[in-house]
Amino acid sequence: MPNPKRRHSQQRSAKRRTHYSAVSVTLTKDSTTGETHPRHRAHVSEGKLYYKGKLVAEKAPAKA
């Protein structure tokens, strides 16, 4: 594999990394359950899975 002939400066690396920043997660309140959750993500409330304010799945009863 090719290797660099000369060392890259620290400034060059820093310029490349200027766009790497942590972004805070946007939270929203669910209209049906009233819970706060990350946007565009399914969330569990009282053992039920909700997405976009609609019930997606319920927890199956345990088999004996």
pLDDT tens profile 16-28: 888 878 889 999 9
Task: Please report, for the chain, the start and end positions of each structural domain, with discontinuous segments joined by +.
Answer: 26-59
Q: What is the pLDDT of residue 27?
A: 94
Band (64; pLDDT cuts 50, 70, 90): low
Cβ atoms of 33 and 24 closer than 8 Å: no
Q: Are 28 and 39 in contact (CB under 8 A)?
A: yes
Lookup result for tokens 């088999």: 63
- Predicted structure pTM score: 0.54
| 57: pLDDT strictly greater than 80 | yes
Whether pLDDT at 61 is above 70: no
Q: pLDDT digit string (tens) for 5-15?
A: 988 888 988 88
Per residue, the 3-state secondary structure of the chain, as one string, reads: CCCCCCCCCHHHHHHHHHHCCCCCCCEEECCCCCCEEECCCCEEECCEEEECCEEEEECCCCCC
